[in-house]
Amino acid sequence: MAWTMHGIFGLTLMAARFSRPAAVPGAPIRWCRQRGRPAATLVAALLLAVNAQAARVFTAVVTHVSDGDTLWVLPDSGGPSRKLRLDGIDAPEICQHGGVHARAALERLALNQRVTVQVRRRDDYGRELARVQVDRQDLGSLMVREGQAWSSRWRRHPGPYATEESDAREARRGLFAADRPEPPRDFRRRHGPCPAPVR
């Protein structure tokens, strides 16, 4: 990750929890000295912020694919397998039309491959949402480009892979070969979730 001086200074301010008056240019150092806190406090806060971000990026091997947007990885650094959902896409449910094909596509792209994982956040179910790269290519982008998933929408926003989805629709690839493919959110609304896939 590329760090700019502006970004580092911003992280330092957030981590050290300066008050509004202290966030004036030149004020943080004076504020620390006035309170008797050494400048090392700033350095420590910055290192904590950098280390926390680094812990969210790791390399791993894909050991299992549950469906078109969910996979399991074994981190190179050790520890247990981690279940990840690809951030920014929505693949068909495994029991939905196209679900088995989407899982097969993700297996072809990622199974047993070494990947770079960037955990972005957790969803409402506590699952880690991540951007995953294989051979420096974004798996989410590849899945949508092949017509095996939709770009995740939020309200009126078309999602991060809107261009890839538009191209897949125009070429009628994968799911978009059908006239009106049903988005997974609509399928879940009508039928509920599929039974949990066997790991």
Sign for the CA dihedral angle at 169, 173, 179, 183 comes to negative
**pLDDT at position 2 over 80:** no
Q: What is the pLDDT of residues 126-154, one digit of tens each?
A: 889 999 999 999 999 999 999 999 999 88
Mean pLDDT computed over 93-112: 96
**Does the model's pTM come out above 0.75?**
no
pLDDT of residue 31: 41
**pLDDT average, residue stretch 1-25:** 42
Q: Does the pLDDT value for residue 89 go beyond 90?
A: yes
The residues that bridge with 170 in the sheet, in sequence order, are: none
* pLDDT above 70 coverage of the chain, percent: 70
Can you tell me the distance from the alpha carbon of 25 to that of 123, in angstroms, rounded to the nearest whole number? 37
pLDDT tens-digit profile of 42-78? Answer: 544 444 444 455 459 999 999 999 999 999 999 999 9
Q: CA dihedral defined by 131, 163, 68, 86, rounded to 10 degrees?
A: 20
Domains of the chain plus CATH, in order, are 5-54 (no CATH), 57-191 (2.40.50.90)
Using only the alpha carbons of the chain, give its radius of gyration.
21
